[in-house]
Structure 1
Amino acid sequence: MNGRHLRVHKRLVQSFKDANSGLLLALAQERNIKLQLSAAVLVLCFSWSIHVSLTYLVVIFVLIGGVISLELINTAIERLVDLVTKENHPMAKAAKDTAAAAVWWFSVMAAVIFIVIVFATLFH
């Protein structure tokens, strides 16, 4: 192995460590992500109990991943805005509210899709 390959590998490993650190920090500090993960466990248990198809299960995992990913982005935006300003600036509020709206909107769409999956599974 050449030295360049080792540096790339170290950077890749470090980027995974940094990502894991960010996830653990969000889990430790953010109430919403804990609620969303709890809801995800319930959704997965219920899905398993009604025997959703593998295709639907993949859709459910994508929806869960989308909600969690957006919540992590929302958290990052909130922290970045707080780093820039602590005052009640209308633009800071707009940035935070819009990021929160993205999580909310995707969560609503995920819930609607899950309801469709449940009805399709139970009444097909």
Structure 2
Amino acid sequence: MLTTLAYGLAIALNLFCLFLGGRFLFAPYAAAAGYGVPAKEDRAYLTIKGVRDGTYGLVGLALLAFAGAQAEAWFMLVVALVPLGDTLIVLRNGGTKATAFGIHFATALIVLLSAALLFAV
């Protein structure tokens, strides 16, 4: 049961990264608004975020498939820095506290939970 939960959450988080990456690539301004800091220009930076998020999703899936739970756990532990940084970015750039903490900080906690579950497997 724990193994199913650990792998299921890790797969879901990695697929969500792929989804976010695609959203920033194909609907960058809507994705930026959902992120918490709307963009009027800077399409290149939004594309960079899309590539970054999509790459994290692919690396996470590859680690899970080819290296196992321990490698994925370490990856999740390190990658939790991204939503923590996103929390600060939203707060420093006029985004709401609800978005910063309700989306980004909460995501960081879920990623850390995923790491803990994977370490326990």
Per the normalisation by structure 2, the TM-score is: 0.44
Q: For the pair shown, which has the larger CA radius of gyration, 1 or 2? A: 1
Q: With a CA cutoff of 8 Å and minimum separation of 6, indicate the structure with the bigger relative contact order.
A: 2
Per the normalisation by structure 1, the TM-score is: 0.43
